[in-house]
Amino acid sequence: MLDKEFNYYRTHQSDLVKKYEGKFIVIKEETVIGVYNTQIEAYTEAKKNHEVGTFLIQHCTPGTIGYTHSFHSRVAFR
C-alpha cells in the first residue's frame, strides 16, 4: 500500500539520514512532507492535512534498524 513511499526511503536513505538523522519523517508520493522529533508528533501533524493510510512515517536512521524488528522467545519447539 505504501510501497512507493518505503522504496523512496530505502533508495534515498543515505541522503535522508544526512539531513534528518534521528527524526521522524513523513513521506507521501516520494516526497518528504514533514520532519518531526517524535512519531506521535509526525502522525498528529500529518493527519491534519492528509488521509491516514496515504503517508509513511519513517524513523530516519542509518542501516535497517529503523524498519526491521527482531523478536526473541523462550519457547522451545520439538
**Residue with the three cell numbers 518505503:** 6
Of 3-7, 49-53, 56-60, 68-72, the range with the lowest mean pLDDT is 68-72
Mean pLDDT of the residues in the chain: 92
Residue 42, helix vs strand vs coil: helix
In Å, how far from its chain's centre is CA 78?
Answer: 37
* Domain locations in the chain as residue ranges: 3-59
Encode pLDDT of 47-65 as tens digits: 999 999 999 999 999 998 7
Which residues are paired to 31 by β-bridges? Answer: 28
This prediction has a pTM of 0.84
